[in-house]
Amino acid sequence: MPKSLFIDPNELGKKGAIAFADIPVNQYQKSVTEAKKEDGFKNKDLVRIYRDMTVLREFESMLNQIKTQGEYAGLKTSYPGPAHLSLGQESAAVGQAYLLDQDDIMFGSHRSHGEILAKSLSSIEKLSDKQLMDIMENFLEGRILRTLEKVFTPKSTKELAIYFLLYGTLTEIFARENGFHMGMGGSMHAFFLPFGVYPNNAIVGGSGPVSIGGALFKKCNNKKGLVVCNIGDGSLGCGPVWEAFNFSAMDQFSTLWPEGKQGGLPIVFNIFNNGYGMGGQTRGETMAYDFLARIGSGITPSQMHAERVWGLNPLAVIDAYKRKREILNQNGGPILLDVVTYRHSGHSTSDQNAYRAKEEIAAWQEIDPCLVFRKDLVDAGCAKDAEFDAIWEETRERMAKICQWASDEKISPYVDFANDNRVVERIMFTNEKKDAMEDAKSVTLIPKEESARVKQIAGKERSAFKDGKPVSKMKTYNMRDAIFEPILDKFYEDPTLITYGEDVRDWGGAFAVYRGLDEVLDHSRLFNSPISEAAIVGSAVGYGMAGGRSVVELMYCDFIGRAGDEIFNQMSKWQAMSAGILNMPMVLRVSVGSKYGAQHSQDWTALCAHIPGLKVCFPATPYEAKGMMQEALDGQDPVVFFESQRLYDMGEMFEPGGVPMEKYSLPFGFVNQVRHGEDITILTIGATLYKAAEAADILKEKYNLTADIINLCSLTPLDYTKIVASVKKTGRVVLASDASTRGSFLNDIARNITELCFTDLDAPPVVVGAKNWITPPFEFDEFFFPQASWILDAIHENVLPLPGHETTVSYTPVEVMRQAKEGV
């Protein structure tokens, strides 16, 4: 797309071949003695590596015993949640964490207890006592620390920190209030930000797109450290993971991004290759790569610096990270590591191992790193066998105490839902505004007033009418301008704000909302993404977790399906699953199309409004758009911002005085009453507002009936106050939008109105939606989308007969029954 990049036919037509470099496989072959000599490992470092492995092993053994026998260390206890254990994978996790520090952050999978503990133990080792105490004092206002102080006296701060880590993790798994996030995440969503441990993720491959957002944050905001994306070999069957690979390696980082921000993202895709995706054997059954590391060569010319690492040897993994960090320091990311490991336990504790032979498990248990590495250390004279026995004893003692405290409801109570059933409601949204996510200076290319677009907007009429006459299209301040203005302002206010999506830069967005923005921003703040909806949304989620604000765009609403997990499971849930520790300052713009047929014309507000944790709005006038966008950008909650392609040209037709020049915001929950009447209430979502206005004109002219028209520009949250007042007044209500009628969000509103206004209703609320068909070609729009006449039909047939009205669409019970019965 950029004109600076020339697609040269001569170049493309040349004869040649693509050369691949060898991909290293298990190249690390040093003995412990050699490692000590060549890489400077001290005995105590090596023993500590083993100590950490015992912690991981014993933690998972504990969960295994609790789940399978209801008992650990003589204590009867249990919990109903999941346990995807990584028994056998300890060396890989500890090796990975060994060199990582607090600035390095990692994201995980459903099987990430080990990684969380290893990274945290590594951080505890590297942080000073004061830093550790600050972290423990400040985390959840010191709640976990206070509990621990009551039950034991630690020998040292580091000892206390280890207990803090194990206790916070186990209580999280046990769904206790003392968990790292009040038990709201649980086993598959545990994390601890102060040690650089970002969320693990219950969706296989879910961390793929999310973690590139963390890396994007580091790159765009000049932050130290690298990002590790821990996913399993099973996730390589997931499209979003491949999207993430590509996104992290886009050419533009080198060709178009500004000085200092060049090169691929600082990320290591660490695939813990344990051979199975649940029971499906990846190599030989479900995948095609033979060697997992091979796939790096399909992504970048650098082959993602991919290599296979023998994860059963922690020193091999440490070696790999040491070398890969160097590459990342040279902006050489992304990295792909195929870390071979093996889980001794099943996928979960209900796994009967029907898919693998006992002999196979036995063969791997023979080379159990907890046995082999210990022997290697003893053989190399790092420590005597007895010392390792002592380490084991200490670990088991720790775990027994932790298990006892975490199981005891007096020490570790559950969140008191019985007496406080709004506990989750309080952590769903922050509802707090923050003008800028960081204090740094916002980098822009020119002063705002020099922007050609700003000057153009300044010359426009803020209203669709001037002196009672329509203003020409070109001179009208329209929806595009209304969406653009607050975004532009925010770019000058918040240094972390970035925006991306398909064709947002040179093209200015497919519908020209961002026209002129490329004059103001370099590529690190405004860039074209690949056609990777999952990566677009998922990366914005990770960017938000890391502390940055973004506005990302899916060109058409219909593409929501391509980012289903990222919108419905990631964007929406992390604030509450983190008990409010994470914020999600992201705005997802989606545009409801027209003219382009069945896969480009759908209003999917209902899908988004259905999902708890999302704020959803659909402004239909420039006044609403500017105010809602400002509100969305100022907040820290995830917003799905619907727009309509029918309305981009629309000037302000309702707001007296037009769209204000100055900054203002319209709160979530806001509904916009654009007409005032007495006889009927018409509620609208999206472009149907204008059909409703047309219908209201006919009602007035032909039937002497006046209508309240209320446009529901905020869908979640939604304040019913004005709606109820109107319906109580008129007793009649029709709801209209371009969404297909079945399952339309309007049905939810209609149901609530029925309940809230039951005795005031003169007729049941009628929903006027699009047909439950595919969208036919634009030529047949009037047969598919609600028209003004349909609104009259609905009123005539279900609410108030309109003398002489001839219906075009039937809203009779017979027709309702027929459509439902036929599923159309």
Partner 1 sequence: MATTVVMPRAGISVESCIIGQWKKQPGDKVSMGEVLFDYETDKAAFECESTAEGTLLECFFEDGDEVPCLVAVCAIGEPGEDVSGLRPGEADSGGAEPEAAPAADVAPVAETTTPATVTAGANIQGVSPRARKAAEELGVDPTQASPTGPRDRVIVRDVEAFAQSLKTGDGFGGRTFGEMVAPQATATAAPVDVEYVDEKFSKIRKTIAAGMMKSLSEMAQLTNHHSFDASAILAYRRACKAGGETMGTETITLNDMVLYAVSRTLLAHPDLNAHLLNGDTMRRFTGVHLGVAVDTPRGLMVPTIFNADKMTLAQISQTTKELAAMCQSGNISPDLLQGGTFTVSNLGVLGVEHFTPIINPPQVGILGVSGTTMRVKEGKDGTISTYQAMGLSLTYDHRAVDGAPASKFARDLCNNLAQFSLLLAR
Q: Is 659 exposed, middle or buried (0-12, 13-18, 19+ CB in 10 A)?
A: buried
Our CB check for partner 1 shows the closer of 43 and 807 to be 807
Answer for which of 262, 281, 673, 810 binds partner 1 (CB under 8 A) is 810
**Residues numbered 332-371 forming contacts with partner 1, rule: CB under 8 A:** none
> How far apart are the C-alpha atoms of 562 and 698, rounded to whole Å?
41
Our CB check for partner 1 shows the closer of 6 and 758 to be 758
Considering only the stretches 20-28, 79-87, 258-266, 802-810, report the one whose residues sit in contact with partner 1 under the rule CB under 8 A. Answer: 802-810
> How far apart are the C-alpha atoms of 482 and 623, rounded to whole Å?
7
Q: Mind spelling out the 3-state secondary structure of 650-698?
A: CECCCCCCCCCCCCCCCCCECCEEEECCCCEEEEEECCHHHHHHHHHHH
**Which are the contacts of 609, defined by CB distance < 8 A and separation ≥ 6?**
616, 715, 716, 745, 748
SS3 at position 281: strand
Answer for which of 432, 813, 817, 824 binds partner 1 (CB under 8 A) is 813
Our CB check for partner 1 shows the closer of 75 and 763 to be 763
Q: Is 818 a residue that touches partner 1 (CB under 8 A)?
A: no
Helix 745-756 vs helix 721-730: crossing angle, to nearest 10:
60
Q: Is 807 a residue that touches partner 1 (CB under 8 A)?
A: yes
**Residues numbered 761-780 forming contacts with partner 1, rule: CB under 8 A:** 761-763
- Least separation, in Å, of the C-beta of 771 and partner 1? 17
Look at the block and give the residue holding tokens 């074209």.
528
What are the helix (H) ranges across 30-142?
A: 32-39, 43-69, 90-98, 113-126, 129-138
> How far apart are the C-alpha atoms of 482 and 720, rounded to whole Å?
26
Identity at 198, one-letter amino acid code: Y
Q: Is 6 a residue that touches partner 1 (CB under 8 A)?
A: no
- Least separation, in Å, of the C-beta of 797 and partner 1? 6
Answer for which of 759, 779, 821, 822 binds partner 1 (CB under 8 A) is 759
Q: Is 804 a residue that touches partner 1 (CB under 8 A)?
A: yes
- Least separation, in Å, of the C-beta of 542 and partner 1? 50
Answer for which of 441, 806, 821, 823 binds partner 1 (CB under 8 A) is 806
List the structure tokens of 801. Answer: 């007969």
Identity at 454, one-letter amino acid code: V
DSSP summary character for residue 414 = B
Sheet containing strand 615-617, edge to edge, reads: 526-528, 498-501, 550-554, 586-592, 639-644, 615-617, 714-716
Question: Can you list the pairs that 175-178 forms with residues at least 24 positions away whose Cβ atoms lie under 8 Å?
Answer: 175/79, 175/81, 175/414, 175/415, 176/406, 176/412, 176/413, 176/414, 176/415, 177/143, 177/412, 177/413, 177/414, 177/415, 177/416, 178/143, 178/144, 178/147, 178/406, 178/412, 178/413
Distances (CA, A) of 539 to 499, 583, 619, 728: 11, 14, 25, 45
Answer for which of 17, 366, 758, 779 binds partner 1 (CB under 8 A) is 758
Q: Is 812 a residue that touches partner 1 (CB under 8 A)?
A: yes
**Residues numbered 564-583 forming contacts with partner 1, rule: CB under 8 A:** none
Are the beta carbons of 729 and 678 closer than 8 angstroms? yes
Taking Cα atoms as reference points, which of 264, 263, 269 lies closest to residue 238?
269
Answer for which of 10, 153, 704, 721 binds partner 1 (CB under 8 A) is 704
Considering only the stretches 290-298, 527-535, 571-579, 699-707, report the one whose residues sit in contact with partner 1 under the rule CB under 8 A. Answer: 699-707
Q: Nearest 5 degrees, angle CA 195-CA 201-CA 206? A: 120
Considering only the stretches 113-121, 218-226, 441-449, 755-763, report the one whose residues sit in contact with partner 1 under the rule CB under 8 A. Answer: 755-763
Q: Residues 248-277 vs partner 1: string with x where CB under 8 A? A: ------------------------------
Q: Is 703 a residue that touches partner 1 (CB under 8 A)?
A: yes
- Least separation, in Å, of the C-beta of 710 and partner 1? 19
Are the beta carbons of 306 and 327 closer than 8 angstroms? no
Considering only the stretches 520-528, 735-743, 771-779, 806-814, report the one whose residues sit in contact with partner 1 under the rule CB under 8 A. Answer: 806-814
Q: How many residues bind partner 1 (CB under 8 A)?
A: 26
Q: Is 790 a residue that touches partner 1 (CB under 8 A)?
A: no
Our CB check for partner 1 shows the closer of 352 and 704 to be 704
Q: Is 805 a residue that touches partner 1 (CB under 8 A)?
A: yes
**Residues numbered 717-736 forming contacts with partner 1, rule: CB under 8 A:** 731
Q: Is 750 a residue that touches partner 1 (CB under 8 A)?
A: no
Are the beta carbons of 508 and 477 closer than 8 angstroms? no
Q: Is 801 a residue that touches partner 1 (CB under 8 A)?
A: yes
Give the H or E element holding residue 535.
Answer: helix 533-545
Q: Is 219 exposed, middle or buried (0-12, 13-18, 19+ CB in 10 A)?
A: buried
Our CB check for partner 1 shows the closer of 330 and 759 to be 759
Our CB check for partner 1 shows the closer of 10 and 704 to be 704
Answer for which of 760, 776, 781, 819 binds partner 1 (CB under 8 A) is 760
- Least separation, in Å, of the C-beta of 759 and partner 1? 5
Answer for which of 803, 821, 822, 823 binds partner 1 (CB under 8 A) is 803
Considering only the stretches 320-328, 354-362, 644-652, 809-817, report the one whose residues sit in contact with partner 1 under the rule CB under 8 A. Answer: 809-817
Q: Is 797 a residue that touches partner 1 (CB under 8 A)?
A: yes
Considering only the stretches 146-154, 535-543, 635-643, 702-710, report the one whose residues sit in contact with partner 1 under the rule CB under 8 A. Answer: 702-710
- Least separation, in Å, of the C-beta of 682 and partner 1? 17
- Least separation, in Å, of the C-beta of 764 and partner 1? 9
Our CB check for partner 1 shows the closer of 100 and 757 to be 757
Q: Is 505 a residue that touches partner 1 (CB under 8 A)?
A: no
Are the beta carbons of 742 and 725 closer than 8 angstroms? no
Choosing from 344, 600, 610, 796, the catalytic residue is 600
Our CB check for partner 1 shows the closer of 304 and 794 to be 794
110 labelled catalytic:
no
Our CB check for partner 1 shows the closer of 4 and 704 to be 704
Q: Is 821 a residue that touches partner 1 (CB under 8 A)?
A: no
> Of how many residues is the chain composed?
824
Q: Is 708 a residue that touches partner 1 (CB under 8 A)?
A: no
Taking Cα atoms as reference points, which of 590, 611, 610 lies closest to residue 601?
590
> How far apart are the C-alpha atoms of 564 and 569, rounded to whole Å?
8
Our CB check for partner 1 shows the closer of 354 and 814 to be 814
- Least separation, in Å, of the C-beta of 746 and partner 1? 19
- Least separation, in Å, of the C-beta of 726 and partner 1? 14
Paired with 592 in beta bridges are: 644
Q: Is 796 a residue that touches partner 1 (CB under 8 A)?
A: yes
Our CB check for partner 1 shows the closer of 77 and 810 to be 810
> How far apart are the C-alpha atoms of 487 and 630, rounded to whole Å?
7
SS3 at position 162: helix
Q: Is 16 a residue that touches partner 1 (CB under 8 A)?
A: no
Taking Cα atoms as reference points, which of 633, 692, 611 lies closest to residue 428?
611
Q: Mind spelling out the 3-state secondary structure of 711-761?
A: ECCEEECECCHHHHHHHHHHCCEEEEEEEECCCCHHHHHHHHHHHHCHHHC
Q: Is 404 a residue that touches partner 1 (CB under 8 A)?
A: no
Our CB check for partner 1 shows the closer of 598 and 816 to be 816
Answer for which of 17, 386, 418, 814 binds partner 1 (CB under 8 A) is 814
Paired with 308 in beta bridges are: 25, 338
Our CB check for partner 1 shows the closer of 620 and 733 to be 733
Considering only the stretches 106-114, 230-238, 523-531, 795-803, report the one whose residues sit in contact with partner 1 under the rule CB under 8 A. Answer: 795-803
SS3 at position 573: coil
Spacing of C-alpha 431 from chain mean position:
18
Catalytic positions, please? 600
Residues in contact with partner 1 by the rule CB under 8 A: 702-704, 731, 758-763, 796-807, 810, 812-814
